[in-house]
Structure 1
Amino acid sequence: MAVQIRDVREQDLDAVLAVNNTAGPSIIPLEAQRLRHLFDTAEYFRVAEIEGVLHGFIIGFGSGAAHDSSNFLWFRHHYPEFFYIDRIVVDNETRGGGLGRILYADAESYAEPRYPQFATEVLMDELADKVLLFHGGLGFREVGQTGMDNAKLRVSMLMKPLYSYDWIRNTYGSKLPDVEWIQHPRAV
């Protein structure tokens, strides 16, 4: 099973929407207009393909983004700098096979030279223990809880330190080396 992680393309949006909206109760459904907005504004938006078929995606925003998610705004209120994973989704067929870890590893390689920590959240529903365990295994820890959608949903707010950030900043300052793997994966 060869996995390819690549930048999202406009022609992927229908497949991204289908993966998102069939992923189950722990993933909030998206409308096409909202997905288009995320496509247009995300700092980081990558997809995972296996044999040319899209099986997952991940969307991220830096702490300075003009992102309107209430969870993103919660992190902004509590932390000065972070890279926020707005959404990571793996389809039902592939879930549990390591694709989520691969997507997070790709996002971490992007974020670590730029931000001191990762931020994300988990809905506190019937699948929360499984999802919290997954994130805990990646190094995320709960830093708070909040309400979402007029407090009908509880959300566990998670952070993960990106340990190489300080060394990279001390070594290179704000001018990162001009090497392919570190360059912005997507022109916004």
Structure 2
Amino acid sequence: MEISIRPFEQRDSAAVLQLNAESVAVLSPMDERRLQQLHAMARLHLVAEGAAGVVGFLIAFADGAAYDSSNYQWFTSRLKRFIYIDRVVISPAQRGGGLGRAFYQQVEGYARTHELAWMACEVDVEPPNLASLAFHQRLGFAEVGRQSAGAGKQVAMQLRSVG
């Protein structure tokens, strides 16, 4: 099945919320109101669409956004000229097929065009999200710190130069 990546449109909201709900174990919950808030602040909000509809999405913020995430704020206090990948969700049927890499290529292209120096994200390490850790390592991300995310959860702050 051919999949295309395009900017988020309001008609994608229900599918994005459903995908987010299916992955809530490894990311923050999101309702319609929160989705609209994030969309308004996001520098990039992309969806992947195939014949069956939306099968993935990505939301990313550049430095200077009014985003209230403690993980985003961690990077804001340490970096300039970065883009923070807040969440990437891919439907289980599409995982392992290169869609995550394609999303990150879009982010990198944006970062290059806008002369941003860093791509930043966090990955759960307690409990561990092993697939995400391996994915980010393959893409050249390195751990630059850790942060408690409450309720026994800890995240590894990941960074990669745009280069």
CA RMSD of aligned residues (A): 1.5
Q: Which amino acid aligns with 1:107?
A: V
Separation in 2 of the partners of 1:126 and 1:70? 18
Match of 2:141 in 1: 140
CA distance in 1, matches of 2:106, 2:128: 24
Distance 1:39 1:53 in 2: 19
How far apart in 2 are the matches of 1:104 and 1:80? 19
Give 1:61's aligned amino acid.
F
Secondary structure of the corresponding residue to residue 159 of structure 2: strand
Distance apart, 1:78 and its partner CA = 1.4
Structure 1 residues 144, 151: closer, same or farther in 2, change over 3 A? farther
Q: Read off the aligned partner of 1:116 and give its amino acid letter.
A: A
The Cα shift of 1:80 comes to 2.1
Shift of 1:127: 4.5
| Alpha-carbon displacement from aligned partner over 1:1-43 (angstroms, at most 9, x marks no partner) | 2111100001111110001111252233212211111112211
1:42, 1:61 within 8 Å by CA — same for their partners in 2? yes
Distance in 2 (alpha carbons) for counterparts of 1:41 and 1:28: 16
Question: 1:151 & 1:23 partners in 2: Cα distance?
Answer: 18
SS state of the match for residue 65, structure 1? coil
Deviation at 1:151, TM superposition (A): 5.8
In structure 2, the residue matched to 1:41 is 41
Q: Percent identity?
A: 38
More strand per residue? 2
Aligned match of 1:105: 105
Counterpart contact for 2:143–2:158, Cα < 8 Å: yes
Secondary structure, counterpart of 1:80 in structure 2: coil
Deviations 1:113-168 (A, max 9, x none): 220010000012444222111001011100000011x46310100001001xxxxx
What are structure 1's unaligned runs of at least 5 residues?
164-188
| Corresponding residue number in structure 2 for 1:83 | 83
**Counterpart Cα distance in 2 of 1:19 and 1:125:** 22
1:119 alignment partner in structure 2: 120
| Aligned match of 1:22 | 22
Query: TM-score, normalized by length of structure 1?
Result: 0.81
Report the equivalent of 1:177.
none
Distance 2:31 2:130 in 1: 27
Is the 8 Å Cα contact of residues 4 and 50 (structure 2) preserved in structure 1? Answer: yes
Instruction: Measure, in 1, the Cα distance between the counterparts of 2:135 and 2:81.
Output: 24
Letter of the structure 1 residue corresponding to residue 137 of structure 2? G
| Contact 1:59/1:88, CA 8 A, preserved across alignment | yes
The structure number with the bigger radius of gyration is 1
